[in-house]
Structure 1
């Protein structure tokens, strides 16, 4: 640590009544959590807080005025029964995944052009338009319907019930969905579609703050 940064931290510590040595030790996520290790694209990634006191949000997340529709402020509860969660909850799910829990999937609902700018380590990109249907509740082409069913089967562990022809969610994964932030409707659209076909709401979690909040607290992101 540079002497200049140490002096800044010491001054801050004195103002807040915090021992300077505690600040010098690093920038933890919580007082008891320093980092979380996850697997992303076959490699181990350590999620931690940034250590640059002058860091700012990337320019693409600094805008405060976005046209509505489509970029409308999302509600706190997107669908009754679907839990809205925060950063520490996401980290808890990531820890469980890294410890071998294969029944959880962290889903980045954004389109690939946004994902290329950075995503949450441990997430899988499933673009929102691969899941969401048109306003009539159907898919525009048979190909879209096939892609939707393949996603349910191969990634969400949902299968067809041969006796009824409907969906069998017995072994469905718990999905933690996110997109760009509280102004982004992509993950909410997916949640509404999934609940609409019978996905159990208690197996759907919504990280409302998304990438904007994740980056605003200095948590690690990765680029494909």
Structure 2
């Protein structure tokens, strides 16, 4: 009897190697971002693509806030085309990071998604930075 796991055979090793290697060119994880930040090896721009209110309530230390709709030629004019952006949003339930990655790639910037987003960051036991202004902020710019 074949299990549900093996009902569809695994890909040959060479194809699996290509597939999983390619995935790593599109994504990074919370642990790698944390370790890079801790080591001071920051050769990327970490971008929280949620709205400013969500950003103020808690974001990854070192991140800047650029909501997806502000990822434009004009909004990114200060960044050379060689800038590697790492984008994240709320978590696996949110496709904001994917949408941001599409916009950045369309603008010809190298980009990776930090899989897991804020949810993944917290699941790893890492802390968020919180802005004092969040206590009085209302509304949302998403």
Question: What's the TM-score, normalizing by structure 1?
Answer: 0.44
* C-alpha deviation, 1:81, in angstroms: 7.6
Cα distance in structure 2, aligned partners of 1:81 and 1:122: 22
Aligned counterpart for 2:62 among listed residues 119, 122, 133 = 122
d(CA) in 2 for partners of 1:81, 1:208: 11
Q: Which residue of 2 is the match for residue 85 of structure 1?
A: 28
Q: Which residue of 1 aligns with 2:118?
A: 211
Decide which of 31, 34, 37 is 1:94's aligned counterpart: 37
Once the two structures are superposed, residues 140-193 of structure 1 have per-residue CA deviations (whole angstroms, 9 ceiling, x without a partner) of: xxxxxxxx2232222xx23xxxxxxxxxx2xx2111110100111111111111
- 1:87-143 CA-to-partner distances (Å, cap 9, x unmatched) read 2211133235x35x5x42111111012112201111111111212xxxxxxxxxxxx
Does 2:51 match 1:111?
A: yes
Partner of 1:151: 75
Quote the residue 1:197 is aligned against.
107
CA contact (8 A) 1:93 1:104 kept: no
Partner of 1:41: none
> Would you tell me which structure has more helix in proportion to its own residues?
2
CA distance in structure 2 between the aligned counterparts of 1:217 and 1:104, rounded to whole angstroms? 21
What is the number of residues matched between the two proteins?
A: 111
Distance 1:189 1:81 in 2: 18
Q: 1:114 to 1:149 in 2, by over 3 A?
A: same
Q: Which has the larger radius of gyration?
A: 1
The unaligned stretches of length 5 or more in structure 1 are 1-76, 132-147, 159-168
State the superposition RMSD in angstroms.
Answer: 2.4
- Counterparts of 1:221 and 1:81 in 2: how far apart (Å)? 25
* Matched-pair contact (CA < 8 Å) for 1:111–1:127: yes
Aligned ranges for residues 126-205 of structure 1 at < 5 Å? 126-131=66-71, 148-154=72-78, 157-158=79-80, 169=81, 172-199=82-109, 203-205=110-112
Runs ≥4 residues deviating over 6 A: none
Distance across 2 between alignment mates of 1:153 and 1:81:
27
Q: What's the TM-score, normalizing by structure 2?
A: 0.67
